[in-house]
Structure 1
Amino acid sequence: MQTNFSIHQLADPHVAEAEAILRKCVHCGFCTATCPTFALLGDELDSPRGRIYLIKDMLENDRPADARTVKHIDRCLSCLSCMTTCPSGVHYMHLVDHARVHIEKTYRRPLGDRLVRGMLAAVLPDPGRFRLALRGARLARPLAGLVGSLGGPFRRLGAMLELAPARIPARSKMTAPGQFPAEAEAGRKGRVALLTGCAQPVLAPGINAAAIRLLTRAGVEVVLPEGEGCCGALVHHLGKEEPALEAARRNVDAWMREIEGEGLDAILVTASGCGTTIKDYGFMLRLDPAYAEKAERVSALARDVTEYLTTLELPAPAAPVGLTVAYHSACSMQHGQKITREPKDLLAAAGFALRDIPEGHLCCGSAGTYNILQPELARRLRDRKIANIETTQPDLIATGNIGCMTQIGGGTELPIVHTVELLDWAHGGPVPETLARHRPAAE
């Protein structure tokens, strides 16, 4: 793609990076074939290629974002399916992230939009506020349909109420900072940090608890570092650059204390959306002289939990499981991190019968806060995903991202369980709580 940025514009490293990405695009349109919003809407501007043109025009002319551009950029899920498809290596993720920052700085959204986005940025990354908000939302959940029917910002409030879980798990001791030693019989074979995060320990603390049990049985010491918190992905995708970078710096500091102390073999993540962001810390902080090198070291150590588990000799499966599992590969897993085989190989080796889902490359509609900010499109994508899952006639669904679990779980009676919970169960751990509550699958 030909570009016409001035020398003055290219002096900005962010613009220079965007220009380099734009130049790689050859207008082939392969991305339109795998873009979820283009599949739903059929509008070129709701495809990666169309959005690239909008971003190019906005940046090249050095103009504030307008309502038309914002509408189509906001509809992007950042599922990154286009990056898997692109034959030219266009790094769409970095381009759309920069566009969102530009929008945040130059466009004044309607009041209701500003209030909703501000509330999400203030509440979701903070576990205490999030837990409190969920308690209120649980009480108001019966009114979700009525609230959503009022239109405007209320449709988003209605979407939030619909997503609120029927029950909020009790706090877990396995989400507090501390160390979990390797079991003596196995002997210590490694030492890792495990991201606690923000939303997941509130919604499903059993996920990390399962990861800790499985890792320590396999001889790995697990540390939950003091000072670590939200990875920054939620505010990053809202275009709020500085809060995202502050979250990254805080986590880099926490993990560097462990790296330079007792050492770490890996930094493990059980939420693939967070993993995609942490693996990008080196890029996000590349212009910060105090953090650029440290962030690169952290990103180099970041692994999805299934990536790391494939390097270990896990305990023999306790018993044949024999359940049929539809494996949903989160977009951040298959497109963001390019992890496709590891989770399925581990589940198959543990005794589960795996089923691939038709249109598995398409997003379920969760995408961080997308199912709140774009509830109609998110619901259509969810229903399409569930229809595809149900064609495989599984006993349950497995996935590696809490956002997908919440999104898909809200539209089906099939139990949905994190991959690591199933692995922990198969290798000697307890039945996952979701399955224990869903008696037919547990039996």
Structure 2
Amino acid sequence: MQTHLPQDLLATEQGKQADKILRSCVHCGFCLSACPTYGLIGDELDSPRGRIYLIKSVLEGNEVTQNTLGHLDRCLTCRSCETTCPSGVEYGHLLDIGREISEQKSPRSIGQRILRYAVRKSLTTPWFFNLAIRCAPFLRHSEAVQFTVDELALQQQLKDREDALQHSVLLISGCVQPALAPNINQSSIRVLNKLGWNVIETPQQQCCGAVEHHLSGQKDALKQIKANIDAWSRYLDQGVKAIISNASGCGVMIKDYPSLFLDEPEYLQKARRIAEHTKDISEFLIAQDLSIFTHYDNQKITFHSPCTLQHGQKLQGVVEDALRRLGYRVNRVKDAHLCCGSAGTYSIFQPKLSKQLRQNKLDNLLEEKTEIIVTANIGCLMHLQKGTKVPVKHWIELLRI
């Protein structure tokens, strides 16, 4: 694709990155069939190729209308197009740049800005979010599991070891997951402990930055991300072996940290180190001995692969492999590459499209009879559970000793 970006933009690392991504697109249209919103709406401007043209127009200095923002807002950022694209177009990074510059050129209405600010701050302020969940307990998905005496003893033994940090991992607790589904983190700790790893859990206020970043709060997101990088780097300096994420949405955000610091060499190097050490829990466990856990002989199970896992982190099939090693027979899911409609806060701002996508996804997930649906991201879990009576859990909750 030919581009004519202004020289002042091309003088920045962000501009150079955008120009490179735009030039890699060859207009082939393979992305259209992989795009959930194009599949529902049928409008070229609600496809990756159409949005790339819109972003190109914005970056070349043309007018940004509210209609432009609307088409960009309707993108789920699922990155299914990246998995399909034969040219390797980094659409997700281009979309981030396009959205940021579009917001600067064509500010939203005061009402929209207030709503987006309120959503991102309520989700990422632990005391407020936790209070809201306590006042409305029906929003909670699960209670925390209780450790047995043996498991508590195992944790203490690990903490007492002289070389504990050399056998430790840092678990990203998340900003909403501890309140909505505390069982996920507790199950993760139990599993990692059983495999011989000491687990250090991050405080809830250390949000990965995804909510702020995707809701027009780039400055606040960068401030949060820098604080995370500084805090987590100290653990790596002390010998912590890996940073574990059990929410694939957080994992892909952390692995993308380097793309946010192209103009800041000091933090770019730190961000690369953090990204290199960050592993989805499935990615980490697949290299471990899972034979110590209960084996389920050919029990059927249905797995929903989050977009952030299969397209964002390129870990397609990893959880399915782990489940098969545990003895499960994993049901085939039609159109497994398509988004469920959760997409962070998408279900809040695009409820109609989100519900349509959820129903399509549930129809496919439940095509083969199953007693449980498992997934790997808190957003998908909560969103899917609202549309079905079939239990939806994080797959890590299945591991039994």
1:398-409 equivalences under 5 Å are 398-409=374-385
2:58, 2:146 → 1: CA distance?
A: 47
Q: Could you report, residue by residue, the CA deviation over 1:252-292 in whole angstroms, capped at 9, with x for unpaired residues?
A: 1111111112x121100000000001001122123223322
Kindly indicate whether residue 241 of structure 2 is the aligned counterpart of residue 265 of structure 1: yes
**Would the aligned equivalents of 1:225 and 1:254 in 2 still touch at CA under 8 Å?**
no
1:193, 1:116 → 2: CA distance?
A: 33
2:265, 2:26 → 1: CA distance?
A: 34
1:35-434 equivalences under 5 Å are 35-61=35-61, 63=63, 65-135=64-134, 138=136, 165=139, 169=143, 182=158, 190-225=167-202, 229-261=206-238, 263-320=239-296, 322-423=298-399, 425=400, 428=401
- Shift of residue 25, structure 1, vs aligned partner: 0.5
1:18-33 equivalences under 5 Å are 18-33=18-33
2:253, 2:98 → 1: CA distance?
A: 17
Q: Secondary structure in 2 aligned to 1:124?
A: helix
Aligned to 2:151: none
Q: Could you report, residue by residue, the CA deviation over 1:64-108 in whole angstroms, capped at 9, with x for unpaired residues?
A: x31110010000000000000000011001110111211332222
**Would the aligned equivalents of 1:181 and 1:216 in 2 still touch at CA under 8 Å?**
no
For 2:129, the aligned partner's letter is: F
**Would the aligned equivalents of 1:323 and 1:395 in 2 still touch at CA under 8 Å?**
no
**Would the aligned equivalents of 1:195 and 1:228 in 2 still touch at CA under 8 Å?**
no
Q: 1:182 to 1:309 in 2, by over 3 A?
A: farther
Q: TM-score, normalised by structure 1?
A: 0.83
- Shift of residue 192, structure 1, vs aligned partner: 0.8
- Shift of residue 13, structure 1, vs aligned partner: 2.1
Aligned to 1:2: 2
Query: How many aligned positions are there?
Result: 392
- Shift of residue 184, structure 1, vs aligned partner: 9.7
- Higher mean alpha-carbon deviation, 324-333 vs 337-346, is at 337-346
**Would the aligned equivalents of 1:191 and 1:220 in 2 still touch at CA under 8 Å?**
yes
For 1:287, the aligned partner's letter is: D
Q: Secondary structure in 2 aligned to 1:326?
A: strand
Q: 1:227 to 1:414 in 2, by over 3 A?
A: closer
**Would the aligned equivalents of 1:126 and 1:230 in 2 still touch at CA under 8 Å?**
no
- Shift of residue 40, structure 1, vs aligned partner: 0.3
- Shift of residue 352, structure 1, vs aligned partner: 1.8
2:51, 2:338 → 1: CA distance?
A: 18
- Shift of residue 14, structure 1, vs aligned partner: 1.4
**Would the aligned equivalents of 1:227 and 1:250 in 2 still touch at CA under 8 Å?**
no
Q: Secondary structure in 1 aligned to 2:243?
A: strand
Q: Secondary structure in 2 aligned to 1:286?
A: coil
1:361, 1:133 → 2: CA distance?
A: 34
1:268, 1:299 → 2: CA distance?
A: 11
Q: Could you report, residue by residue, the CA deviation over 1:365-389 in whole angstroms, capped at 9, with x for unpaired residues?
A: 0000000000000000000000111
- Shift of residue 183, structure 1, vs aligned partner: 9.0
For 2:139, the aligned partner's letter is: P
Q: 1:354 to 1:227 in 2, by over 3 A?
A: closer
Aligned to 2:150: none
RMSD over aligned Cα atoms:
2.4
Q: Secondary structure in 2 aligned to 1:392?
A: coil
**Would the aligned equivalents of 2:145 and 2:186 in 1 still touch at CA under 8 Å?**
no
Gaps of 5+ in 1: 140-163, 174-178, 429-443
Q: Secondary structure in 2 aligned to 1:99?
A: helix
**Would the aligned equivalents of 1:395 and 1:414 in 2 still touch at CA under 8 Å?**
yes
2:189, 2:23 → 1: CA distance?
A: 45
1:211, 1:171 → 2: CA distance?
A: 11
**Would the aligned equivalents of 1:322 and 1:352 in 2 still touch at CA under 8 Å?**
yes
Q: Could you report, residue by residue, the CA deviation over 1:128-178 in whole angstroms, capped at 9, with x for unpaired residues?
A: 211223455x39xxxxxxxxxxxxxxxxxxxxxxxx7266747999xxxxx
For 2:125, the aligned partner's letter is: D
Q: 1:397 to 1:180 in 2, by over 3 A?
A: farther
For 1:56, the aligned partner's letter is: K
Q: Secondary structure in 2 aligned to 1:412?
A: coil
Q: 1:170 to 1:350 in 2, by over 3 A?
A: closer
- Shift of residue 62, structure 1, vs aligned partner: 5.3
**Would the aligned equivalents of 1:81 and 1:361 in 2 still touch at CA under 8 Å?**
yes
**Would the aligned equivalents of 2:296 and 2:327 in 1 still touch at CA under 8 Å?**
yes
**Would the aligned equivalents of 1:180 and 1:222 in 2 still touch at CA under 8 Å?**
no
Identity among equivalent positions (%) equals 42
